[in-house]
Amino acid sequence: MRKIMLGLLAASLAVMPLSGSSANEYKHHMKHVKKEPPHQTQSHNTTGQWAVGCGIASAASLMLGTAIAGSDKNKKNRRQLTITEAYWAASACPFLLPLAFVAQATCPDNKATYQIATLAYRYLETHPSADQSAFTSAYGEACRTGKLSPEFVAFVTANGLYARAATRRAISVRG
């Protein structure tokens, strides 16, 4: 067994180049094929980056606007953004600017829309995952007439949403 192992070791040493010159001779016998670098295409299209940046700017301005409206020092004035305010905040992205102009022209903010935004904020404090369709319907009515609908006043009263003060203010805005 020892003779076989020594024979394999001697054979491997004989085949393996031991000096730099013999390694160079071995290298010259091999063909060297030069590889071309892969073709790289450069795109100057920045639409995707611009759209992502634009979306981030709009979302950030909406978050800031919501935080400002919802953190009024006077707890009675805390509210959500009105639709018009939300469009103006989102218009940090220039392609949303025409929508802000349309929202401003079709539904300028008034006492009724601010009252709805305040009541919606209070409603979501007590009912975090509740349906807000009553507020959406009331907002449309407030935009058209500048007054709160009797159905919305009944909804506010039925949900105990600061019933006395909210109803009093709603009636004063309505009348």
Q: What is the pLDDT along the chain (175 residues), one digit of tens a residue?
A: 555 555 555 555 555 555 555 555 555 556 667 777 777 777 666 677 888 888 888 888 888 888 888 887 777 778 888 888 888 888 888 888 898 999 889 888 899 999 999 898 888 888 888 888 888 889 888 988 888 988 999 898 888 875 444 445 555 555 5
Long-range contact pairs involving 53-60 (C-beta distance under 8 Å, separation at least 24):
54/92, 54/93, 54/94, 54/95, 55/93, 57/92, 57/93, 58/89, 58/90, 58/91, 58/92, 58/93, 58/96, 60/92
116: its two tokens: 């709805």
pLDDT of residue 83: 86
SS3 content of the chain, % helix, strand, coil (to 5): 70, 0, 30
